[in-house]
Amino acid sequence: MTLLVVGSVAFDSVQTPFGKKERVLGGSANFFSMSASLLTRVQLVGVIGEDFPEDHVGYLQQRGVDTAGLTRVPGRTFHWRGRYEYDLNEAHTLETQLNVFADFRPNLPEAFRRPDHLFLANIDPELQALVLEQVTRPKLVALDTMNYWISGKRQALLKVLRDVDVLFVNDAEARQLSGEHNVVKAGAAIRKMGPRTVIIKRGEYGALMLEHGTAFYVPAYPLEDVFDPTGAGDTFAGGVMGALDRWGGFNTQTARQAMVVGGVLASFVVEDFSFDRLRTTSLEDVQRRYADLRQFTDFKDLPTAD
């Protein structure tokens, strides 16, 4: 099976109440690939500048990521600067330097045009549509977006959503896109736009998956130390999509298991800045926390009345 991701590869400068890091590795497709490559073969499409370290590209390749679609062009790599308060649930963007990403137009290598599963990371919906035009219809197409595109490119986003199977959004984005305050109603409204499944990322409160007539909730793994939530959503999506690709596709059972895997991987990435923690995370580590979550959420039926 093959999993294709198209999105940003970047530098992040992050300040949280627990520390500060300048120009660490980041970007939606980067976090996604670091996560999903623990589970399956990943094909990565993105753009980087002359300042992006070659050793990281080599490290991705060592993890089994095919970087034939990662293009290096003259200029500087996309750079995001942000700050988090103590609740760590919302990033405050201080500066965005698009740099080479401003002219990014995905052009997929021929070998990337028949993926089994496709993840369109958080980029301009017009670029997401351009990717869909270049691929033979995958078994599953998933898409992530954000408030900027929901308000600024709404019609383009609605158009691409018609061809999407799974939408990943956070709760605020789900409300903004749907016009519904309640997230369950929001998910139902979004499903009418095209996606048959809506996965709502809720940060420290876990994630909710909504399908026709069914819902599944996975809590966040309880942690004592959280340092940097940057990339947690992309890491979560990488875990979900990587697990689905590893297990051969989407059905109710595999999707629920994949949600737990995604939540577990997100629990690792927030324990350090950038994806330093993911570098040392093994599949055995994931399996242990997966088992922990099963134990944490296990409960029996209520006793019958006498």
* Each residue's pLDDT tens digit, 81-126: 999 988 787 788 999 999 999 999 999 999 999 999 999 999 999 9
Residue 52 has pLDDT above 80, yes or no: yes
pLDDT tens by residue, 53-82: 999 999 999 999 999 999 999 999 999 999
| Mean pLDDT of the residues in the chain | 95
Instruction: Quote the CA–CA distance of 90 and 10 in Å, as a whole number.
Output: 19
Question: Any idea where the domains of the chain sit in the sequence?
Answer: 3-296
| Single-letter amino acid, residue 174 | A
- With helix as H, strand as E and coil as C, how does 104-140 read? CCCCCCHHHCCCCEEEECCCCHHHHHHHHHHCCCCCE
Band the pLDDT of 306: cuts 50, 70, 90: low
CATH 3.40.1190.20 fits 3-296, yes or no: yes
26: left (phi over 0), alpha (psi -120 to 50) or beta: beta
Residue 257 has pLDDT above 70, yes or no: yes
Count of CB atoms situated within 10 Å of the CB of 172: 16
Q: What is the pLDDT averaged over residues 37-43? A: 97
Residue 250 has pLDDT above 90, yes or no: no
Which CA distances in Å does 223 have to 28, 32, 232, 264, 269?
Answer: 23, 21, 14, 11, 12
Instruction: Quote the CA–CA distance of 265 and 34 in Å, as a whole number.
Output: 10
Band the pLDDT of 163: cuts 50, 70, 90: very high
